[in-house]
Amino acid sequence: MKRGQGSRLWDEEGREYLDYVLSWGALILGHAPCEVVEAIKRRLFSGTHFGTCTEIEVLFAEMVVELFSSVDMVRMVNSGTEATMSAVRLARGYTGRELLLQFAGCYHGHADPFLVGAGSGLLTYDLPESPGIPRAVGEKTIVAEYNHPEMVEEIFAHRGEEIAGVIVEPVAANMGVVPPRIEFLTRLRELTRKYGALLIFDEVITGFRLGLSGAQGYYGIEVDLTTLGKIIGGGLPVGAYGGRRKIMEHVAPRGPVYQAGTLSGNPLVLEAGYATLQKLITHPSLYDELEEKTKTLVDGLLSIFRTSGISVWINQVGSMFTLFFTPEPVNDYQSARRADTSLYGRFFRAMLEKGVYLPPSQFEACFLSTAHTEEDLAYTLEAASQAVKNL
């Protein structure tokens, strides 16, 4: 791709696409929104990095702390992977335990502990795990089924005292979108509390995607640690993790759990992120509008497929959704895997042909931005009704 503006992308050959990938959900305001471009420009001419604290870092942290009731302190890093990796180290350092519990089909970045049974690229390429990870690391990760609280209960009954933390995507979006059963999330909270493990919500996608206080605000769950990324960087590389003061004070230099980063808290990134979040904060109705637009699109797609006789199942949460080529409900990893990926591939290519860029995998989410218009949606539905004819 060569250029992006609003809801559109242009490739090197000048072809135009409506973008539903949006840098894997990062670009909630679309490409090159003027507020963000202006913020970056302002910073660019007064130095892009100092390796020490800047005002924007403080303002940014204060904003996150104010919006997320479970976060008293926040540490900036450079990617979602760094955020989850550091949060897990902190959970282990804080509890003095080693086991990590995660869920099949969730994705928490590419750090060693997470690449067992993971979603996103591993699921797309059908890799059960990645080579290059010492067995000893893999043995410290337990993988349970998403949305199956009884399984989590069983694991805690056996090994609860050894579990440092549970990391979960509160809305799974890396096996395609899979909404959580509310009793799944509440049970995770109860069990981690009962056994003294930390509950980590990986909100790298959901943070500022579902609302101003992430999925934890959306579902009303009080968590121990939160990881953020994607949207909070306004299109530049970023990550953050935060939580209760008594936990976060274990991070160096206050505490002994080491974590650092030369470019962390980079003011160029934080200016872009801050401008993005300010836009969302000052226009809270944007979330309802985004959800409404997404529903219009999803309803339209459902009716096109119903007419065509091709069975699909669509999961939507807020402004993200996935169209699965399967007649059954998709509510966990197993059901997601039953979707017909080759049919998805044909649909993806037919849509691309018509200038609509969907995620190039059955197991990724479609995202809308505030830049997507009613006309964009109408165009997409028209393209879809053409595309289904040749499936």
Of 18, 33, 76, 79, which one interacts with ligand PLP (CB under 6 A)? 79
Is residue 228 within 8 A of residue 239, CB to CB? The reply is yes
Piece of 61-69, 73-81, 175-183, 256-264 that binds ligand PLP (CB under 6 A): 73-81
Binding flag, residue 265, ligand PLP (CB under 6 A): no
Asked if residues 314 and 322 have their Cβ atoms less than 8 Å apart, the reply is yes
Which residue sits closest to ligand PLP, CB atoms considered? 80
Nearest C-alpha neighbor of 165 from the set 258, 99, 77:
99
Among 174, 216, 264, 335, binds ligand PLP (CB under 6 A): 174
Token pair of 311 as six digits:
């069975």
Which range touches ligand PLP (CB under 6 A), out of 12-20, 105-113, 260-268, 376-384? 105-113
CB-count burial class (<10 Å; 0-12, 13-18, 19+) for 362: buried
**Least distance CB 85 / ligand PLP (angstroms):** 9
Q: How far is the CB of 317 from ligand PLP (least distance, A)?
A: 13
Can you say how many angstroms the Cα of residue 375 is from the centroid of all Cα atoms in its chain?
A: 27
Q: Under the criterion CB under 6 A, does residue 107 sit at the interface with ligand PLP?
A: yes
Nearer Cβ to ligand PLP, position 7 or 227?
A: 227
Structure letter (DSSP) for residue 141: E
Catalytic site positions = 107, 202, 230
Residue 145: name the closest of 356, 336, 369 by CA.
336
Q: By CB under 6 A, which span of 29-37, 79-87, 129-137, 270-278 interacts with ligand PLP?
A: 79-87
In terms of CB distance, is 149 or 239 closer to ligand PLP? 239
Q: Is residue 241 part of the contact set for ligand PLP (CB under 6 A)?
A: no
Range 361-380, binding ligand PLP (CB under 6 A): none
Q: How far does Cα 79 stand from its chain's mean position?
A: 12
Decide whether 236 or 275 has the Cβ nearer to ligand PLP: 236
Q: Which is nearer to ligand PLP, 167 or 197 (CB)?
A: 167
Return the number of the residue (4 or 80) whose C-beta is nearest ligand PLP.
80
Q: How far is the CB of 202 from ligand PLP (least distance, A)?
A: 5
Q: Which position among 19, 57, 169, 291 is part of the footprint of ligand PLP (CB under 6 A)?
A: 169
Which CB atom, from 108 or from 305, has the smaller least distance to ligand PLP? 108
Whole-number Å distance between alpha carbons of 253 and 361: 42
* Interacting span for ligand PLP (CB under 6 A) from 74-82, 87-95, 145-153, 322-330: 74-82
Does position 108 interact with ligand PLP (CB under 6 A)? The reply is yes
Neighbours of 36 (CB within 10 A): 24
Which stretch of DSSP H or E encloses residue 38?
helix 34-44
Phi, psi of 166 (to 5 degrees): -115, 125
Maximum Cα–Cα distance across the chain: 62
- Alpha-carbon distance 360 to 348, whole Å? 7
What number of chain residues touch ligand PLP (CB under 6 A)? 15
* 80 sits near ligand PLP (criterion: CB under 6 A): yes
Query: Are residues 177 and 313 in contact, defined by beta-carbon separation less than 8 angstroms?
Result: no
Using the contact rule CB under 6 A, the part of the chain among 41-49, 102-110, 215-223, 329-337 near ligand PLP is 102-110
Distance of CA 298 to the CA centre of its chain: 20
Q: Which residues on neighbouring strands pair with residue 144, listed in sequence order?
A: 103
Segment 193 to 232, residues that bind ligand PLP, using CB under 6 A: 202, 204-205, 229
- Residue 114 or 305 having the CB closest to ligand PLP: 114
Smallest distance from ligand PLP to CB 237, Å: 7
Output b/e per residue, 226-252; b: 16+ Cβ within 10 A. Answer: bbbbbbbbbbbbbbbbbbbeebbebbe
Residue with tokens 């479609």: 366
The two three-digit tokens of residue 267, written as one number: 């003011």
Round to whole Å and give the CA distance between 60 and 79: 16
Footprint of ligand PLP on this chain (CB under 6 A)? Answer: 24, 79-81, 84, 107-109, 169, 174, 202, 204-205, 229, 239
